[in-house]
Amino acid sequence: MALSDELAYADVTKIARGIRQRQFSPVEVVDAFIARIEVRNPSLNAFVYRGFDQARESARDAEKALVDGRPLGPLHGVPVAIKDLFDFKPGWITTFGGIRAMRNFKANFYCGFAERIEKAGAIILGKTNSPIMGFRGTCDNYLFGPTRNPFNMTKNTGGSSGGSAAAVADGLLPLAEGTDGGGSIRIPAARCNVYGYKASFGRVPALIRPNAFAADTPFIFEGPITRTVDDAALALDALSGYHPGDPYSLDETTDFASATRRSIQGWKIAYSPNLDVFPVDPRVAEVVGKAVRAFEQAGAHVEEVKVGIKRPQKQLSDLWCRLIMPLNLQTLESFRDAGVDVLKDHRDDLPPEYLFWVEQDFGARFLS
């Protein structure tokens, strides 16, 4: 069996352990996943930027670290991907979700996920597809097109971290970055049958560059997309903790891997099936209800509660769109400062629903 097939659905823990125990080298692992990406990605359209040459160089450095007996991070040699949105690695192209005018824009800084995942020893292979500015629940844009669901190629992967979810689901790599402000980790994870974890606010630092810190307009989260809970816990051990670039990041250490093993016997868990006002498909409600009963089987007491939300779902969704716009407007202004006036010269690069919210009262004045 080719190594690319053997490792395709291996979890992060197995790959990291195999590298440490010299069952396979970081070079072999990276080459194996690159080979699978080259075969599978043309049909999926999950990867939109390939940093393969740099990844192979990093793999050779990782191999030398093993031979030299240097200290190794918990993810040493594990292939990962970052997302093509507000997610950066120095020298790599970033299109902010497929904006055609930004097809050659290169960042000179790191996002928090890339910075910390590399510090833990992981090797970033490339960037995954996302909708323009992350502003929709499907993964599609004018530059790269849609990402297809590996379980049904006629279906989308959900957004905005749809490229990451598809890549992990199809075994292109075991771990990828997700970001989430309104469902962007959770939606594609659910559609692609993978595990996406949006940690509590402050647990994983959010560095929304190039505008410095702006992750509270509204709350923005970074987190792992994996195939197992254990892999997500391992990633969180590497990603969490205080960062000077995020004043809200928590200055504490948590052992997430151990936390997944603790008992919930006697816990009291409040459960809202619809947050009072949100429409939920009966089929989804049934699946979630069965999952909730697993808590009871594990010894917890689950009580269905009313949250107290009075506003209709549509009104809350519109409010979210207004809240997310300051971050978007600042980003568009930074494009203009860099010489690319997207709103003036490249309006056709932006979807009409996105332009609608940009042009609402404060938006037009902000960019005048």
* Catalytic positions, written as ranges: 83, 160, 184
Contact (Cβ atoms closer than 8 angstroms) between residue 91 and residue 140: no
Task: Please state whether beta strands 221-226 and 175-180 pair in parallel, antiparallel, or not at all (unpaired).
Answer: antiparallel
H/E stretch holding 301 reads: strand 301-304
- Spatial CA neighbour of 46 closest among 84, 15, 74: 84
Give the residue ranges of DSSP H helices in the chain: 3-7, 12-20, 26-44, 52-68, 112-119, 162-169, 186-192, 229-239, 256-259, 282-297, 313-337, 342-345, 352-358, 362-366
Gap between the Cα atoms of 127 and 47, Å rounded:
6
Q: Are the C-beta atoms of 301 and 268 separated by less than 8 Å?
A: yes
DSSP letters of 40-96? HHHHH--EEEE-HHHHHHHHHHHHHHHHHT----TTTT-EEEEESSS---TT-B--T
- What does each C-alpha distance from 149 to 25, 46, 95, 232 come to in angstroms? 31, 9, 22, 21
User: At 332, which amino acid appears?
Assistant: L
What phi and psi values does residue 293 have, to the nearest 5 degrees? -65, -20
Determine the Cα–Cα distance for residues 145 and 129; give it in Å rounded to an integer. Answer: 9
